[in-house]
């Protein structure tokens, strides 16, 4: 009789499972990564693999015309891009402007612009970025972000993408949002896409946007469901525990990593 140590048993199980993992990754075009949930004890993490299968983005021609180009200019995955596209289409007739803060090379903004264009929206679209990377990061609420990350983007990247798609370029707000834009005259917002990675930055953006949201208006938080951007998770969780916000907004945690607020 062969007696195996604990380590040997673990290795045997791991080796047995590897072909299944490879098959699943190949079939579903996903990567299975072991997430160590003890890294951030108050924000538990695990790799989420939904059991649903319906994937309308595969056959959505107008989405794909944009996404297949924009995917080379974004850090946002297809699931979140499709949700942004869908939500931007749905708010397109509301009376309010649209704002993205955290544009980087332009990918997610192009998806919004495509949806607004398809729906003949009258909303004005603003996009904001420092183009020098993440700011206001490194507070005790943040985990990975310290400031300066994602500085590898420029206006040239953005212009190139919009020219490939033949889309009009939205109004670009260069600098720290909202601090560098005191003159900005936006009174109503129907959609906000906040993708700024850090607690204080998200807080600044959202506190500026909240009083401007119109009824039915939507705030999409990127970074809510990801290891490394717990500052955003913490900010949103604090926000939704506030009684006033609960009365004014519906909250959705989408398992693609987005958090969504809808103004009642």
Q: Is 196 in the site for ligand SAM (CB under 6 A)?
A: yes
Binding residue (CB under 6 A) for ligand SAM from 201, 203, 233, 256? 201
Residues numbered 213 to 252 that lie near ligand SAM (CB under 6 A) are: none
Q: Is 258 in the site for ligand SAM (CB under 6 A)?
A: no
3 state SS for 181-193 = CCCCCCCCEEEEE
Tell me how far, at minimum, the Cβ of 16 lies from ligand SAM, in Å: 38
Q: Is 142 in the site for ligand SAM (CB under 6 A)?
A: no
Q: Is 135 in the site for ligand SAM (CB under 6 A)?
A: yes
By beta-carbon proximity to ligand SAM, the closer residue of 101 and 191 is 101
CA dihedral 181→248→229→150, nearest 10 degrees, is -30
Binding residue (CB under 6 A) for ligand SAM from 83, 97, 129, 142? 129
Q: Are strands 259-263 and 213-221 parallel, antiparallel or unpaired?
A: antiparallel
Binding residue (CB under 6 A) for ligand SAM from 80, 150, 234, 263? 150
Q: Which residues contact 3 (CB under 8 A, 6 or more apart)?
A: none
Tokens at 102, concatenated:
């955290």
By beta-carbon proximity to ligand SAM, the closer residue of 149 and 248 is 149
Rounded to 5 degrees, what angle do the CA atoms 41, 44, 47 make?
A: 135
Q: Which residues contact 66 (CB under 8 A, 6 or more apart)?
A: 85, 110, 111, 114, 165
Could you give phi then psi for residue 83, rounded to 5 degrees?
Answer: -65, -40
Q: Is 177 in the site for ligand SAM (CB under 6 A)?
A: yes
Closest CA to 102 of 81, 122, 126: 126
Residues numbered 51 to 110 that lie near ligand SAM (CB under 6 A) are: 74-76, 101-104, 107-108
* 129: three-class secondary structure by DSSP: strand
By beta-carbon proximity to ligand SAM, the closer residue of 32 and 79 is 79
By beta-carbon proximity to ligand SAM, the closer residue of 198 and 261 is 198
Contacting positions for ligand SAM (CB under 6 A): 74-76, 101-104, 107-108, 128-130, 133-136, 150, 153, 176-177, 195-197, 201, 204
């Amino acid at each position: 009789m062969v007696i195996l140590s604990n380590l040997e048993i673990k290795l045997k199980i791991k080796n047995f499972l590897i072909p299944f993992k490879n098959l699943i990754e190949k079939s579903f075009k996903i990567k299975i990564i072991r997430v160590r949930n003890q890294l951030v004890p108050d924000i538990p993490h695990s790799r989420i693999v939904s059991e649903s299968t319906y994937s309308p983005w595969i056959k959505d021609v107008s989405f794909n015309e944009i996404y297949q180009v924009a995917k080379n200019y974004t850090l946002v995955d297809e699931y979140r891009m499709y949700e942004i596209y869908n939500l931007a289409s749905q708010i397109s007739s509301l009376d309010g402007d649209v704002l993205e803060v955290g544009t980087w090379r332009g990918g997610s903004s192009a998806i919004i612009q495509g949806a607004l264009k398809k729906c003949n929206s009258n909303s004005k679209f603003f996009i904001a970025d420092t183009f020098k990377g993440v700011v206001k990061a490194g507070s005790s609420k943040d985990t990975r972000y310290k400031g300066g990350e994602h500085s590898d983007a420029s206006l040239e990247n953005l212009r190139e993408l919009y020219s490939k798609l033949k889309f009009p370029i939205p109004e670009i707000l260069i600098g720290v949002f909202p601090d560098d834009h005191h003159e900005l005259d936006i009174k109503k917002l129907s959609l906000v896409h906040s993708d700024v990675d850090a607690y204080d930055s998200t807080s600044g953006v959202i506190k500026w946007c909240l009083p401007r949201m119109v009824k039915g208006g939507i705030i999409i938080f990127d970074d809510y469901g990801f290891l490394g951007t717990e500052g955003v998770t913490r900010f949103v969780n604090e926000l939704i525990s506030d009684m006033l916000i609960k009365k004014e907004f519906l909250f959705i945690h989408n398992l693609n990593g987005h958090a969504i607020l809808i103004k009642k």
